[in-house]
Each structure stands twice: as C-alpha cells, then as structure tokens.
A and B are shown apart, each in its own frame.
Chain A
C-alpha cells in the first residue's frame, strides 16, 4: 500500500524541509544565513536523489512520473541547488536573514514538482498558482517593494483567471484529467466555445507566468528591481517548469485544439521576440537588458515548439537549455561585479571592469556570444536546432524575423561589451569569491566542451523528451 505512494517521496522530503526550516527559524535565535542554506541543501539533495531513484513511479492517474518529468525535475533541482549556493554569498555579504529566500525557493520547488508531474488540471493549478503567489513574498526581501507592487495585483488576477478557466472546463467536461479532456475534445462535434474560452484562460495564465509578451511588463520590472538572488532565480529556474507544463498540457490535454492554438502561440512568440529585442536595446539596467533578452529567447522557444512535433519539442528544449546555461553564467558574473559591497546594476557601473576582472569579463563575453548563437559555443547548437526545425516546417518568414530581431538584440549585447572592454574604468571592484569562479568555470567548460560532441547528450535528451507524447 505504502509503496504506491513512494513516488511522492521527493515532495514529502521538500515539505519536511520547509517545516524544519520554519522550526529552526522559530526556535533557534542565533541562526546565520548559512543555517538555512544548510537545511535547504540537505533536503534538496535528498529530494533530488529520490526523484532520480523513483523516476517511473506513479500515484494513480493524477501524479505521473516518467523520463520526461524526471528530466525537467532534475534540471529544476540542479538549477535551484546551484543558485541557492551562489545566493548565500549575497546574504552573507549583506548580513541579512536568508530564511525567506530559501523557504520560498524550496516551497516553489515543491510546487513545481507537483505541477510538472501533474496529470490533472487541479494539481497543475495548485502547483503553479501557489508558487506564483509566493513570488510576491520573495520580492519583499530587503524592503524593495517596487517589483512586488506590480506583481501583487496581477498575480491575484492571474490565479483567479486560471481558477475560472479550470472551473468552466470542469463544468462542461466533468473532468480535469488530461487524458479525459483530450478524449472529449477529440470528438469534433463536442468542441464548444466554452472549451476554447477555458483553454484560452489557462494558456494565457501560463504565458503570463512565463512573462511572454504582451504580459512581459511585470517580468522586466521585477527582474530589474529585486535583489540579485531573486532576479537571478526568477530568470533562470521557473522557466523549465512552465515550459514542461505547457508542453505536457498541450500534448496530453488540449491537443485537439492545436490548430487553433498554433496560431495563437506564433503570435505570442513573435510579439515576445520583437519586444524582447527592442526592450533590451533601449535599457541601461543590466538585469533589465538580460530580462528582455529572456523574453526574446522564450519567444523563439515558443515559435519553435509549435506545432508540437517531436522535432519541435527537442529544438525548443535545446534552445531553452542553452539560454538557461548562458543566463546562469551571466548572473553568476553579476555576483562578481561588486563595488564597496554593492552589486552593480547599471551599464555605467561596470565600465572598464575587464581591466580589473579579466576572467569574469571573459566569461561574460562567452555567455553573451553563446546567447547570440555564434559558433563554436553551445548557443550555436540551439540556433541550429531552431532554424532546422523552422526550415522543416517551411517557416522561412519566421526564420528571417527571428534572425533580424537577433541583430537588434546584438546591439544591446554590444553595449555591454563596449562598457566592459572598451571604456575606461571608473570603479574599484571588490575581491571576487572563489565559489563564483568555480561555478563560472564549470559553466564555461560546459558551454565550450558540450559543443564539441553534442550527439550523445542530444540523443539521450531526445529519448527522454519524446516520452511526453
């Protein structure tokens, strides 16, 4: 009997971690930023290990694990773990409590874990809505509330829309199970406008959470104004969970509506590419530049993803993976760009930093060039996968548009490169923590080495991804 629920062990461990952290917060008065990090690390690692160990265990029809979900969960755990490690540097240097950050990040991970494995819309709703609402608390760390104000109202609205979409669907379909919904919608005569409306509500909420244009306004604001651990976390980690849920729900629940959804997604994708490229070029805030570039990359991933062929899913995932790795590196570099204890945010702050921090700057350059998709860096693999997939679909106009927008985006990166390398320095930068260098080194090696022989990795990833069908 108990063995049937063993698939929930990772989630249970995360839940225990949350409780432990809360108890330590209440009963231990001399806790340091490191205390919560240690608890976070311990429970996260146990949870990750049990995820990999029980990768094919299911709980009834609601909670479904396979190689596809395990791949995404593994990525979520890895990204969260490393980001948690880097974030500790921030809390230690500022000497502020890390409890809220680690507690919410662990909570988010629990929610994501539920959402990724969900085979029922109610579980998906629970997972995604709670984590999205919890982000409001993250944004209030260190008394910076500019981002929280923007997100606060809209997150409630999004959750309500999501709930409304699910309620309408349940009212007409009498089920929230993915498979059952697909079967009902598969009978063409049964597709009524209420289904389309409810699907539109759910998809719109997912796209809002991803920060896709025209819902991108909250994302750039939040990323630009929150503290470095939070802005980095929001840029890097949640995207994998949203992507996984979007693919899962579209293939296993809403597939009969794909003809209609395809056009919608292409419009969203094109808008994101456009706003991402233009927005990044017009910004001088470093995090906003990369926040807008995220919009561009998510846009490209979306247009590559649809129609949902296995080729498109693999290409889109590859592109996303490459983007996340590079973004990870860029945010790690931001941990190194520190002057008198303050983390640099503006382009003018990092002028000429290459003369004092050559290795950090070289890493930043490598990551940016990888994002552009210039060979021989890993980014090229993503660009190749995307163009190849669009060519198969004969989407020549989309290829042209994507590459043209990339040229605009490159202008933004050139501004960063110019500031870092070609201008004279106006700041004395603090000594960089060794952990930052280690994380950077690993990331740079990944970007430089994987591209040499990516076929084995890609083969395995492809095998795991197609399990979603």
Chain B
C-alpha cells in the first residue's frame, strides 16, 4: 500500500502537527466546553497509533540499527543532514507515550479549564517527543531534546498548580542548562566528526576536550532524571500537579534522559568517564533509597507515585549503564508497560481525588461499592508492584538478573528501594479498600462510566497480552 515505508515516519511526525492546527481552529464555545478540542486530540493520538501499527509491521524486529531511515539536507554551511529512523526500542517507547497521553486525555475529559490550550500544548509536546525518539543524527536529537521544554513549561505553568513561580522558573532553567550543555557538546563533536548517534561513541577526541564533551552530555541527560542534585526541580513541580495529563507529560521527561543515555552510550559510558561512574551509581542508589522512603512514609498519593516513578527511572538508568547492550530491549519492553500502568494509575487517582473532594470523604474505603473503579485500580496497582500482569514482570526480572550478576550488593539496595516504593502503592490501595464500619454509612462515590471502564479493560488486555514482548502481535 505504501511503497516508500520511510515516509511513514514523516506521517507520524505530521499527524500531531495537523492535530495542533485542527485544534486551534476548532470551535470552543461555552456549550462545547472544550470537547471539540479534546476529540481532535484523542483522534490525533489514535491516528498515530494506527500509523505506528503499520510501522511495526514494516520493520525487522530482530534487526539492529535504525530502520526506515529518511534523511534531509538542512544546511550547507555547516553541512548538516537531519536523519530520522526507528528501531524496536524507540517504537515501543513511542507507542507507550501515545497510550499514556491517550489515558491522560481520558483523565481530563471532564475538565473544562482552557482545554484548547491544553490539547495544543500536549500535541506539541507529543510532536517533539516523537521527533526526539526518531532522531538519528546529532542535531535533530538536540533540536527535539530542547524543543520539548517549551510545551512542558507552559503545561506545568498553566495547569500544574505550582504555587511558587520561582520553582517553575528554576524547573525551566535546569532543563535549559542541560540542553545548552548538550548543544555545545554536540557542536564540538560535530566539528570532530559528523556521525550518527549510533556511531557517536566511536568518535576520537583529544583527552581534555573528551572529558568536557562526554561530561556535558552525561550531565545534560542526567539533568532530566530526578537523581541528586537534579531531583529537586522535578519533585517540587511534580507533586503539585493535579491534572493527570500534565502529570503524565511531566513524568515522560525523565524518560528522555534515560533514552538519551541509552542511545549515546549503548554499551557503557565512555572510558574517560569510567572513574566517575561509581560515584554516579552511589548517588543514584542513595537517591533511590531516600525517595522510596519519602514515598513510603508520606500519605499523599502524589508523593507515592512520584517516588515509584523515580525509583524505576533510576533502575532503568542503572540497567542501561551495565556494560552490555543485551538488556536494552528488555528495558524498552518494561518501560512500555510501566509507562502505561503508571499513567492509568495517575488517571484513576485524579478521578478518585476529585470524587473524594466532591463527596467530602477521606481515602479510607473509597473504592468500596464502586466495582468498576476497584477492578481497574487493583489491576494496575498489582501490575505496578510486579505481579505477572504485564511485560514489566518478565523484563524487570531479566534486568535484575543482569544487575545481580554485575554487582550483588548494589542490586540488593536497588531491590530494597523498589520494594519500598511498591509498598507505598499497596499501602494506598489498602486505604482505598479499607472496609471500616464507618465507611459503610457514608454514600458511595460515583463509579467510572461504562465507556471509560471498557477503555480501561482494553488497556488491561493490552498489558496482559504484552506479557513477554509488547510488540509480539506486530511481528
């Protein structure tokens, strides 16, 4: 049907752009309350998922390197050629992000506060993230790495309930600083040799410059992952976000950091940075433990989810830093389910929080007598804590076995942090299902509607069927 399959990638990039235009032109009256814009947003994401389905059929799932490569000569001096391509790893991440954003749209379906702007900025973010995950050369990689900051900043600023403007500014500045470091490092690399991202570790640079370049790239990516000292900005922003879609988007940002590290250093960090890796690992594990404890000890579910996400991001980071690339596909498959699961939990939490406020109740026994919500919430929490309900189970096990064979003590600490953060989620689930007598007397909250339940069931089926490899049915 489509002769030149590489065009598909351009279509995938173009669909969100078209979505932005249609959303901007959609009629947003007081009667529609942003429904038109939301519908355009949902349709855009679904359209792109269909295109991703076609792409999944076109690529070789066992093949290495980028496929469906399409290039475009952008500038003559300096000679810059932009390159887009896809592999199974990026495909699974792009698909996961689409599902996560779709879930986010479902989560905000009853909001009517500046819906048009919300959808436009979300699609803009989606466009940039897709571009980032499809990038095959240094410059397109940087372009999308920095470009996603603007929609993110606007989303957090408008919908994030961040009380202090300085926090928001600092959030943007940290990210921009990381992007600038990456820019300078890539420009220096480019002057040495114009290579694709896959060949980047083969570039030979003078010793002193190599330290500067690789460190800058490392810091740029780490600045997106909430490990010390970068954990502050993301935690101070994230825990205040009550809009589920914005929360999901804000939590996709660390993924871009992990992805960058995996792409740039698929085997391990450059030899020149080897002495500093141990420090990084120690910092990562300490951050993991502290954040897991904070999540476990805090009653606020936003803290628990944030803690859970941070701990897992650091797990994936440490997995990626292992001196092997055998686990990369496992990381990709695990992230696929993990992102969808956490998005579903966030959507449900936002719904329950709203209902809680409406019915003036506490968390205790909130899920009693609401069977549909209870089923959905229980499934996703159980999947999140590692029950064999999704691709997280098997792939995380493989990541852990890799970590165990590499460093037993380190892995024990990681495991402790993971258990603590999962216990935090189970603790919340326990409160929600707590069957006290007092709670039997209060009125039940409103359950999720049947169409939304059906949608969640479809996502649950997707999770179960993706048990080994989320893309098995596309091969």
**Which residues of A are at the interface with B, using a C-beta cutoff of 8 A?**
311, 314, 355, 358, 365, 369, 372, 374-376, 380, 383-384, 387-388, 391-392, 399-400, 403, 406-407, 410-411, 414, 417-418, 421-422, 453-455, 458-459, 462
Q: Are B154 and A454 in contact (CB under 8 A)?
A: no
Nearest CB of chain B from residue A395's CB, rounded to whole Å: 12
- Interface status of B157 (Cβ within 8 A of chain A): yes
A458–B183 Cα distance when bound, in Å, is 21
Q: Are A454 and B75 in contact (CB under 8 A)?
A: yes
Q: Are A459 and B150 in contact (CB under 8 A)?
A: no
Nearest CB of chain A from residue B133's CB, rounded to whole Å: 16
| CB within 8 Å for A387 and B75 given contacts A376-B147, A422-B158 | no
A366 closest partner in B (C-beta):
B150
Q: Hey, which chain A residues are within 8 Å of B154, CB to CB?
A: 365, 417, 421
Q: What are 21 A-B pairs at a CB distance below 8 A?
A: A314-B77, A374-B179, A375-B144, A375-B147, A380-B143, A384-B75, A388-B187, A399-B184, A403-B180, A403-B184, A406-B180, A407-B180, A414-B169, A414-B172, A417-B153, A418-B157, A418-B168, A421-B158, A455-B73, A455-B76, A458-B77
A453–B75 Cα distance when bound, in Å, is 8
| CB within 8 Å for A391 and B188 given contacts A417-B157, A455-B74, A455-B76 | yes
- Interface status of B78 (Cβ within 8 A of chain A): yes
B72 closest partner in A (C-beta):
A453
| CB within 8 Å for A407 and B173 given contacts A391-B188, A417-B157, A458-B75 | yes
Nearest CB of chain B from residue A56's CB, rounded to whole Å: 25
Q: Which of B114, B146, B177 sits near A407, CB closer than 8 Å?
A: B177
| CB within 8 Å for A454 and B74 given contacts A375-B142, A376-B147, A421-B158 | yes
Q: Hey, which chain B residues are within 8 Å of A422, CB to CB?
A: 157-158, 165, 168
Nearest CB of chain B from residue A376's CB, rounded to whole Å: 5
Q: Which of A372, A403, A421, A455 sits near B75, CB closer than 8 Å?
A: A455
Nearest CB of chain A from residue B146's CB, rounded to whole Å: 6
Q: Hey, which chain A residues are within 8 Å of B157, CB to CB?
A: 417-418, 421-422
- Interface status of B427 (Cβ within 8 A of chain A): no
- Interface status of B117 (Cβ within 8 A of chain A): yes
Q: Hey, which chain B residues are within 8 Å of A365, CB to CB?
A: 150, 154
A411–B143 Cα distance when bound, in Å, is 21
A301–B142 Cα distance when bound, in Å, is 23
**0 or 1 for each of B190-213: is its CB under 8 Å from A? (1 = yes):** 010000000000000000000000
**0 or 1 for each of B2-38: is its CB under 8 Å from A? (1 = yes):** 0000000000000000000000000000000000000
| CB within 8 Å for A387 and B173 given contacts A369-B150, A455-B74, A458-B75 | no
A375–B144 Cα distance when bound, in Å, is 7
**0 or 1 for each of B58-95: is its CB under 8 Å from A? (1 = yes):** 00000000000000011111100000000000000000
- Interface status of B123 (Cβ within 8 A of chain A): no
Q: Hey, which chain B residues are within 8 Å of A392, CB to CB?
A: 191
Q: Are B187 and A391 in contact (CB under 8 A)?
A: yes
Nearest CB of chain B from residue A241's CB, rounded to whole Å: 26
| CB within 8 Å for A411 and B173 given contacts A374-B146, A418-B165 | yes
Q: A314-B77, A406-B180, A421-B154 are in contact. List 5 more A-B contacts (CB 8 A).
A: A355-B114, A375-B147, A407-B180, A411-B169, A453-B74
A458–B184 Cα distance when bound, in Å, is 22
A355–B172 Cα distance when bound, in Å, is 22
A467–B200 Cα distance when bound, in Å, is 38
Q: Hey, which chain B residues are within 8 Å of A406, CB to CB?
A: 180
A372–B169 Cα distance when bound, in Å, is 15
Q: Are A410 and B187 in contact (CB under 8 A)?
A: no
Q: Which 4 A-B pairs have the closest CB atoms?
A: A375-B143, A422-B157, A414-B169, A403-B180
- Interface status of B237 (Cβ within 8 A of chain A): no
A407–B157 Cα distance when bound, in Å, is 19
Nearest CB of chain A from residue B212's CB, rounded to whole Å: 8
A448–B77 Cα distance when bound, in Å, is 20
A358–B120 Cα distance when bound, in Å, is 12
B165 closest partner in A (C-beta):
A418
Nearest CB of chain A from residue B156's CB, rounded to whole Å: 10
| CB within 8 Å for A388 and B147 given contacts A407-B180, A421-B157 | no
Q: Hey, which chain B residues are within 8 Å of A414, CB to CB?
A: 168-169, 172-173
Q: Are B74 and A375 in contact (CB under 8 A)?
A: no
A411–B177 Cα distance when bound, in Å, is 12
Q: Are B150 and A374 in contact (CB under 8 A)?
A: yes
Nearest CB of chain A from residue B224's CB, rounded to whole Å: 16
Q: Are B73 and A358 in contact (CB under 8 A)?
A: no
Q: Hey, which chain A residues are within 8 Å of B78, CB to CB?
A: 384, 388
**0 or 1 for each of B142-167: is its CB under 8 Å from A? (1 = yes):** 11101101100110011000000100
List residues 39-66 of chain B with CB under 8 A from any CB of chain A: none
B117 closest partner in A (C-beta):
A358
A414–B149 Cα distance when bound, in Å, is 13
A403–B176 Cα distance when bound, in Å, is 10
Q: Are A375 and B172 in contact (CB under 8 A)?
A: no
Q: Hey, which chain B residues are within 8 Å of A403, CB to CB?
A: 180, 183-184
Nearest CB of chain A from residue B469's CB, rounded to whole Å: 34
Nearest CB of chain A from residue B151's CB, rounded to whole Å: 11
| CB within 8 Å for A410 and B150 given contacts A391-B191, A455-B74 | no
List residues 447-472 of chain B with CB under 8 A from any CB of chain A: none
Q: Hey, which chain B residues are within 8 Å of A417, CB to CB?
A: 153-154, 157
